[in-house]
């Protein structure tokens, strides 16, 4: 059955989903920011449910909202070098302007590494408001709403903003909020039990080499320094000067109140960085065929979503389960669900630079990214239905249905439980043993 569904997807995908072109991206440069893209403004328009069906339960997983740079290393790299160049008369006019902006940016960022920004809190409030307005039946006063966040402050704060907005919409709503390492097994599951397969490290290394190769091609030193040799004379690297500016440039989209423009790049250079980060998101979330299958950690989150949905259905309980974590868990979840735009990746190295034609990281993991499963029931009985949303947009998954975007929950549950049982017979998470913190994973 799984092979049949897979073949059907391959056959219909080219007809249903248009490829992204470079021209599309040039018209919408925010989509080239990968995981630094701010959350968009989804349409409130939704496909009406079949007659007699009403929403009663929501299962949700979200990334934290927009944040400051995790580290201020980009500022630490640029400021001493540029200040020395200023003293020696080596800054161009653009360089002088950019040094002033770098100083102002650092003054705002200092001591705030990884913190949720003002925009980040607003993003979750706005999502909560839209959710409440679209599905008011889910948030009646006697319904049960439970929220969980990772132990990282920006995720906890995102949860608080989201839940506070729901309470503003309905002051009588009862919401329980939890945050801590004891919830890691489904909010940010580890992959300690998932083994490497033969040759899998080599695939990952090839992707990393391609990322580095693209990064090394961008050189803006002649725009900042009168003599670009000033960079190497001071034991710095041209590509790191450019990369540091690009890190700050991306971060400003999360901090609109700062009001500084750090775009010193040509369209070609921005596109090069976009390709690099797009490959990076395939590589770092292990979705390239042949890589270590660490995307399977998302099975823990999916099992939790299935289990709690079944519990709500069994108990006849209306409400919602909300989860707040990180982009490195949103993307594997979207991948194991098989959502369009995050389902098919090529094992061929020669295809990776053009991966954007079928996958754009910013569409999957923008700031405040979220996956929602909306459940419907009919008072007259019958099947429980569910639909899948990514960034509040209705999505296809590889489960048979004759009423898209609605699927029978029994079909959905059977498909994913069979998938996880066949592909992953090992239980990859242990609720009694919190996942080991990994800064490279949570610093996203």
Helix (H) or strand (E) holding 161: helix 153-169
Pair (125, 257) in one structural domain: no
Instruction: Show the CA angle centred on residue 125, arms to residues 154 and 256, nearest 5°.
Output: 70
Beta carbons within 8 Å of 139's beta carbon, 6+ residues apart: 132, 145, 166, 169, 170, 173, 319, 320
Q: Where are the alpha helices (DSSP H) in 252-348?
A: 267-284, 298-315, 327-337
Pair (227, 143) in one structural domain: no
Question: Within its chain, how far is the Cα of 48 from the centroid?
Answer: 27
pLDDT digits (tens, 9 = 90+) for 325-365: 999 999 999 999 999 999 889 999 999 999 999 999 999 99
Binning pLDDT at 50, 70 and 90, where does residue 428 land? very low
Give the whole-angstrom CA distance, residue 75 versus residue 248: 8
Pair (60, 186) in one structural domain: yes
pLDDT digits (tens, 9 = 90+) for 129-171: 999 999 999 999 889 999 999 999 999 999 999 999 999 999 9
Looking at the domain assignment, is residue 57 inside a domain?
Answer: yes
Pair (87, 153) in one structural domain: no
Question: Within its chain, how far is the Cα of 327 from the centroid?
Answer: 3
Binning pLDDT at 50, 70 and 90, where does residue 192 land? low
Looking at the domain assignment, is residue 210 inside a domain?
Answer: no
pLDDT at 440: 47
pLDDT at 421: 79
Looking at the domain assignment, is residue 80 inside a domain?
Answer: yes
169, 336, 373, 380, 401 from 143: Cα distances, Å: 14, 30, 17, 21, 29
pLDDT at 193: 61
Pair (149, 243) in one structural domain: no
**What is the chain's mean pLDDT, rounded?**
90
Beta carbons within 8 Å of 300's beta carbon, 6+ residues apart: 185, 186, 189, 428, 429
What percentage of the chain carries pLDDT values higher than 70? 89
Closest CA to 291 of 201, 353, 359, 192: 201
- Based on the number of CB atoms within 10 Å of its own CB, is 226 exposed (0-12), middle (13-18) or buried (19 or more)? middle
Pair (80, 178) in one structural domain: no
Helix (H, G, I), strand (E, B) or coil at 224: helix
Q: Is the pLDDT of residue 11 over 50?
A: no
Q: Residue 48: which CATH number?
A: 3.40.50.1240
Domains contained in the chain, number: 2
Binning pLDDT at 50, 70 and 90, where does residue 194 land? confident
Pair (13, 142) in one structural domain: yes
Strand segments (E) across 150-297: 174-179
Looking at the domain assignment, is residue 284 inside a domain?
Answer: no
Pair (160, 34) in one structural domain: yes
pLDDT digits (tens, 9 = 90+) for 32-78: 999 999 999 887 788 999 999 999 999 999 999 999 999 999 999 99
Range of the domain at 42: 2-66+117-200+293-442
Q: Is the pLDDT of residue 424 over 50?
A: no
Pair (189, 246) in one structural domain: no
Looking at the domain assignment, is residue 175 inside a domain?
Answer: yes
Is 0.85 topped by the overall pTM? yes
Give the whole-angstrom CA distance, residue 435 versus residue 438: 9
Q: What is the largest CA-CA distance in the chain?
A: 80
Beta carbons within 8 Å of 74's beta carbon, 6+ residues apart: 243, 244, 245, 247, 248
Closest CA to 113 of 160, 168, 164, 76: 76
Query: Of 41-50, 269-278, 375-384, which gets the smallest average pLDDT?
Result: 41-50
Pair (122, 97) in one structural domain: no
The residue-averaged pLDDT of 94-103 equals: 98
Looking at the domain assignment, is residue 316 inside a domain?
Answer: yes
Pair (373, 334) in one structural domain: yes
pLDDT digits (tens, 9 = 90+) for 246-267: 999 999 999 999 999 999 999 9
Give the whole-angstrom CA distance, residue 427 versus residue 194: 10
- Based on the number of CB atoms within 10 Å of its own CB, is 216 exposed (0-12), middle (13-18) or buried (19 or more)? middle
Query: Of 68-82, 200-214, 234-248, 420-434, which gets the smallest average pLDDT?
Result: 420-434
Looking at the domain assignment, is residue 347 inside a domain?
Answer: yes
pLDDT digits (tens, 9 = 90+) for 309-328: 999 999 999 999 999 999 99
Looking at the domain assignment, is residue 269 inside a domain?
Answer: no
Helix (H) or strand (E) holding 80: helix 73-87
pLDDT at 103: 98
The residue-averaged pLDDT of 90-96 equals: 98
Q: Is the pLDDT of residue 10 over 50?
A: no
Pair (227, 335) in one structural domain: no
């Amino acid at each position: 059955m799984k092979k049949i569904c897979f073949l059907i997807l391959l056959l219909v995908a080219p007809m249903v989903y248009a490829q992204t072109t470079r021209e599309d991206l040039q018209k919408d440069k925010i989509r080239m920011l990968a995981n630094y893209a701010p959350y968009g403004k989804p349409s409130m328009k939704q496909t009406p449910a079949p007659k007699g069906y009403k929403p009663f339960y929501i299962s949700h997983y979200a990334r934290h909202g927009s944040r400051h740079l995790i580290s201020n290393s980009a500022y630490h790299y640029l400021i001493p070098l540029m200040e020395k160049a200023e003293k020696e008369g080596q800054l161009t006019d653009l360089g002088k302007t950019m040094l002033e902006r770098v100083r102002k940016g650092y003054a705002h960022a200092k001591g705030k590494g990884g913190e949720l920004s003002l925009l980040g809190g607003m993003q979750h409030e706005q999502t909560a408001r839209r959710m409440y307005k679209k599905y008011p039946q889910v948030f009646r006063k006697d319904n049960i709403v439970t929220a969980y966040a990772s132990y990282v402050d920006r995720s906890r704060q995102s949860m608080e903003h989201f839940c506070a907005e729901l309470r503003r919409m309905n002051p009588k709503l009862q919401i329980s909020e939890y945050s801590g390492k004891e919830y890691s097994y489904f909010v940010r599951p580890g992959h300690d039990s998932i083994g490497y397969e033969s040759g899998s490290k080599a695939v990952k290394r090839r992707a990393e080499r391609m990322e580095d190769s693209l990064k090394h091609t961008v050189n803006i030193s002649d725009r900042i320094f009168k003599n670009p040799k000033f960079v190497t004379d001071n034991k710095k690297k041209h590509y790191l000067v450019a990369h540091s500016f690009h890190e700050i440039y991306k971060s400003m989209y999360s901090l609109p109140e700062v009001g500084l423009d750090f775009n010193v790049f040509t369209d070609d250079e921005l596109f090069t960085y976009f390709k690099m980060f797009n490959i990076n998101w395939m590589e770092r979330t292990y979705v390239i065929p042949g890589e270590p299958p660490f995307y399977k950690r998302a099975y823990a989150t999916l099992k939790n979503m299935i289990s709690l949905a079944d519990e709500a259905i069994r108990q006849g309980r209306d409400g919602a389960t909300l989860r707040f974590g990180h982009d490195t868990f949103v993307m594997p979840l979207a991948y194991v669900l098989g959502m369009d735009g995050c389902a098919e990746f090529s094992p061929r190295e020669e295809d990776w630079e053009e991966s954007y034609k079928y996958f754009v990281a910013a569409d999957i993991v923008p700031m405040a990214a979220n996956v929602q499963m909306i459940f419907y029931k009919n008072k007259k009985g019958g099947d429980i239905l569910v639909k899948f949303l990514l960034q509040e947009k209705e999505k296809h998954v590889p489960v048979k249905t004759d009423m898209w975007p609605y699927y029978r929950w029994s079909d959905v549950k059977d498909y994913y439980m069979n998938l996880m049982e066949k592909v992953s017979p090992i239980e990859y998470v242990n609720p009694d043993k919190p996942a080991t913190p990994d800064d490279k994973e949570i610093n996203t």
